[in-house]
C-alpha cells in the first residue's frame, strides 16, 4: 500500500523516554495496515540484538544494521513504503538527504533518536532531521533524582557525572546513563 505523499516523522527525547517503544508502535501499526516496512539501525548499536531494534522495556522489531546512512538506499526493497531509522543520532550527516530522498519517493520515514547528547547539546544530525520533519514528538522520561519530567541524559562514570570533555559516543544503557531533569543534569567542566 503506497502513501499519497512521503513524510518524515521524528521521535526524540532523552534516554529511557520511550523513543524506541514509540518507533516500534508505529512500525507495528504500519505492518497491520499491510504496508511494507524496513528498519535500519547503526551497526555500532549491539546492546540487545544485532538484527533488531530493542527498547529498554524489551519490545523489539527486526532491523538491518548498517555502517552509514547511504546504506539505506542500497538495501531498500523496491516495494518498501515505510522506513524506520533507530538511533538516528549515531548516523553520519548523510541521513538527512537520505530521509529527504525517501520522502520524495513517497515513503514514510520514521526516525527515532536522542535530540541531545550527555552534555545537553544537539546530537549529530538530529537537529536537522527535526527541522525538516513534518512532525516531531519529544518524549520525556522521569528524573532519577527528583521524579519530575526528565529531558536530559546523564552519563555516569563510576557513579559520578561524566565530564564535559569525555567522549560523546559511548553506547550503553542503565549502567552508564540515567534520565535527569534540567535542575539535576550535571556536566562538570
What would the pLDDT profile of 38-67 be if each residue is shown by its tens digit?
Answer: 999 998 765 556 677 777 777 888 999 999
Percent of the chain with pLDDT over 90: 78
- The residues carrying an active-site annotation are 87
Report if residue 75 sits inside a domain: yes
d(CA 108, CA 187) in angstroms, rounded, equals 37
Burial annotation 117-127 (CB, 10 A radius, 16+ → b, else e) = bbbbeebbbbe
- Domain tally for the chain? 1
* % helix, strand, coil for the chain, step of 5: 20, 30, 50
Report if residue 167 sits inside a domain: no
Report if residue 54 sits inside a domain: yes
Instruction: Provide the β-strand partners of residue 180.
Output: 152
Report if residue 153 sits inside a domain: no
Band (pLDDT 50/70/90 cuts) for residue 175 is low
Report if residue 34 sits inside a domain: yes
Question: Could you report the per-residue pLDDT of 89-101, keeping only the tens digit for each?
Answer: 999 999 999 999 9
Residues 113, 137: contact at Cβ < 8 Å?
A: no
Report if residue 150 sits inside a domain: no
**What domain range is 72 assigned to?**
7-139
Q: Kindly list the distances between the CA atom of residue 144 and the CA atoms of 10, 20, 162, 170, 173, in Å, as whole numbers in the listed order.
A: 25, 20, 16, 20, 14
Residues 10, 83: contact at Cβ < 8 Å?
A: no
Report if residue 109 sits inside a domain: yes
Query: Domain with 20 in it: what CATH number?
Result: 3.40.50.300
pTM score: 0.91
Amino acid at each position: 500500500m503506497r502513501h499519497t505523499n512521503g513524510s518524515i516523522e521524528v521521535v526524540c527525547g532523552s534516554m529511557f523516554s520511550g523513543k524506541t517503544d514509540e518507533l516500534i508502535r508505529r512500525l507495528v501499526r504500519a505492518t497491520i495496515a499491510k504496508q511494507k516496512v524496513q528498519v535500519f539501525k547503526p551497526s555500532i548499536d549491539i546492546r540487545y540484538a544485532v538484527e533488531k531494534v530493542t527498547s529498554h522495556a524489551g519490545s523489539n522489531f527486526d532491523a538491518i544494521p548498517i555502517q552509514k546512512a547511504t546504506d539505506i538506499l542500497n538495501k531498500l526493497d523496491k516495494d518498501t513504503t515505510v522506513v524506520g531509522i533507530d538511533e538516528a543520532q549515531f548516523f553520519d550527516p548523510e541521513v538527512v538527504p537520505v530521509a529527504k530522498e525517501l520522502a520524495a519517493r513517497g515513503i514514510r520515514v520514521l526516525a527515532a533518536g536522542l535530540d541531545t547528547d550527555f552534555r545537553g547539546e544537539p546530537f549529530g544530525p538530529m537537529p536537522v532531521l527535526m527541522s525538516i520533519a513534518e512532525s516531531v514528538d519529544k518524549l520525556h522520561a522521569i528524573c532519577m533524582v527528583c521524579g519530575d519530567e526528565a529531558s536530559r541524559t546523564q552519563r555516569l562514570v563510576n557513579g559520578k557525572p561524566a565530564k564535559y570533555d569525555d567522549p560523546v559516543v559511548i553506547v550503553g544503557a542503565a549502567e552508564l546513563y540515567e534520565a535527569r531533569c534540567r535542575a539535576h543534569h550535571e556536566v562538570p567542566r
